[in-house]
Amino acid sequence: MPCFLGIDVGTGSARAGIFDVDGKLLGRGSSDVTTFRDGSDIVEQSSAQIWSAVGDASRGAIAAAGVGPSDVAGVGFDATCSLVVLGADGAPLPVGPSGDPARDIIVWMDHRAMEEAGEINATGHPVLAYVGGVISPEMQTPKLLWLKRHRPDVFARAGHFFDLTDFLTWKATGSLARSSCTVTCKWTYVAGDGGWDESYFRQIGLEELADEGFRRIGTEIADPGKPLGGGLTPQAAEALGLAPGTAVAAGLIDAHAGGVGTVGAEGLGPAAENMAYVFGTSSCTMTTTAGPVFVPGVWGPYYSAMLPGMWLNEGGQSAAGAAIDRLIGLHPATAEASGLAKQDGKSLPDWLLEKALSSAGSAGDLARVAGDLHVVPEFLGNRAPHADPRTGAVIAGLGMDTSLDSLVALYVAGLCGLGYGLRQIIEAQAHHGAPISNIVISGGAGRNAAVRQVLADAAGRPVIGPETEEPVLLGAAMLGACASGTYGTLSDCMTAMSRVSDAHRPTGGGIAELHAHRFDIYERFQTIARVAANERP
């Protein structure tokens, strides 16, 4: 019986999973990815190191699954939406102040292109309607413009600008095809309505790309799941521990792989009723619709970016799990709590949650533990629905208490704040014609049942958990299953290979009233933070 390999490259690691035809995880492997930081805005990685980590993770998963290279019928990749810059010969080029060619990736969370994003937004070009009206410095055209201005020699020498997912499929197959997911969501390609818009690139100062016929950013666009080239090249097969010619699919951004791995599960109803919520270092929300829905401050609508033939709206928070880490790292009791958590063999967030549950008595009552503490956890600005990268976090209600109990309360207030940000996105989309019934969660930060209950109460929607522990890897593996021809369509893969395990419904009653009150306060503090960040003398 065939099996499929899903490979996910996140911010901190490359992970791989082998799945059977029913979506059962047979084995997984992982390998760390190195990140380089210069100041608060420069975040870089190495494509060579990532490819090496991918190989290690793949071979580890194959060994853990106990399968042979020829048993794997298809491979799918997903990755963060980071920018890879290579010369015409495929050699890495330096993208930042270090001048180190090994550092050839501008990571998704890098905010060096704030000024360029502001200038692009000031043009008001019609293509911006497809990114919620406001382009983010996390997207690729602001970063390309920064590169042209600040590293003109590198920009001129570059032969290929890849989204990280497309770099991986190129390394695997030699195909220069780009996924409709990556170019539509992060590069301003308008799938289904003209593709690349020459006037946009000329107006923002990237006319070279238009003059060249867009060859450096992609002229062949493939839907996720479409087989690329002749499958794995001999070199790639050796690196991954697989057989040459194994089918390789056009890939997805990592969050979108989580969506594919969850929203089509058997018994959930139409995909359009289910918002995918990928809760990791950052968070992403993905909502599919039959027709285009324009929501100010929410990226999209994107055609065929996740599910072929469907439109997608994408929101989220630039810092989610990372925001919680940052928040609790500020508290003076964190060192003591970390030591106690280590003694108990738990992560610090899990230890804090256990203490909060002990105090609250039930997951539905966790918000009461926060007391008068309120957190707007926008340490990297607001991705949606305000699309404001300049705004900052707010922590209100702090007193002189430095005890472990106050740390626990701060942690719970941060979780609630993430839930209220999710609620804002849901309400904004519903107001413009894209309502949802359920939140289907994936990502490491959302695996705990109590976290899911807090999010359900804060956002006011049921939070559904997938059966698989690895929905992002499963989504990537579904791409490989589709490319191999085992299933006819990606939708067929989703129904056959994914199922749900649990549902956490809003508690209601007094807890609903408490969250409504806290949400109102959240929005007031958020407004004040935006005024402070944007109305400077």
Q: What is the pLDDT of residues 471-504, one digit of tens each?
A: 999 999 999 999 999 999 999 999 999 999 999 9
The tens digit of pLDDT for each residue in 178-201 reads: 999 999 999 999 987 789 999 999
What is the distance between the alpha carbons of residues 77 and 25, in angstroms, rounded to a whole number? 16
What is the torsional sign of CA 212, 217, 222, 223? negative
Per-residue confidence (pLDDT) for residue 530, from 0 to 100: 95
Q: Where does the pLDDT of residue 265 fall: very low under 50, low under 70, confident under 90, or very high at 90 and above?
A: confident
Tokens of 272: 């359009």
Q: Where does the pLDDT of residue 438 fall: very low under 50, low under 70, confident under 90, or very high at 90 and above?
A: very high
For 440, phi then psi, to 5°, come to -105, 115
Which residues lie below 8 Å from residue 139, measured CB to CB, with a gap of 6+?
81, 117, 131, 186, 187, 188
Q: Give the 3-state secondary structure of residue 13.
A: strand
Q: Please give the span between the terminal C-alpha atoms of the chain, in angstroms, as a whole number.
A: 67
- Please state which of the ranges 197-201, 266-270, 363-367, 373-377 shows the lowest mean pLDDT: 266-270
* Rounded (to 5) percent helix, strand, coil in the chain: 45, 20, 35
CB distance 498 to 23 below 8 Å:
yes
Per-residue confidence (pLDDT) for residue 54, from 0 to 100: 98
What is the distance between the alpha carbons of residues 289 and 312, in angstroms, rounded to a whole number? 6
Q: What is the largest CA-CA distance in the chain?
A: 67
- The pTM of this model reads 0.89
What is the distance between the alpha carbons of residues 384 and 82, in angstroms, rounded to a whole number? 19
The tens digit of pLDDT for each residue in 268-314 reads: 888 899 999 999 888 999 999 999 999 999 999 999 899 888 999 99
User: Identity (one letter) of the amino acid at 408?
Assistant: V
The mean pLDDT value of the chain amounts to 96
Per DSSP, the residues of 439-490 read EEEESGGG-SHHHHHHHHHHHTS-EEEESSS-HHHHHHHHHHHHHHTSSSSH
What is the distance between the alpha carbons of residues 65 and 60, in angstroms, rounded to a whole number? 9
What is the distance between the alpha carbons of residues 225 and 492, in angstroms, rounded to a whole number? 12
Domains by residue range for the chain, with CATH: 3-253 (3.30.420.40), 262-319+434-504 (3.30.420.40)
Tokens of 507: 């508690």
Q: Give the 3-state secondary structure of residue 360.
A: helix
Q: Where does the pLDDT of residue 57 fall: very low under 50, low under 70, confident under 90, or very high at 90 and above?
A: very high
Tokens of 228: 């690329």
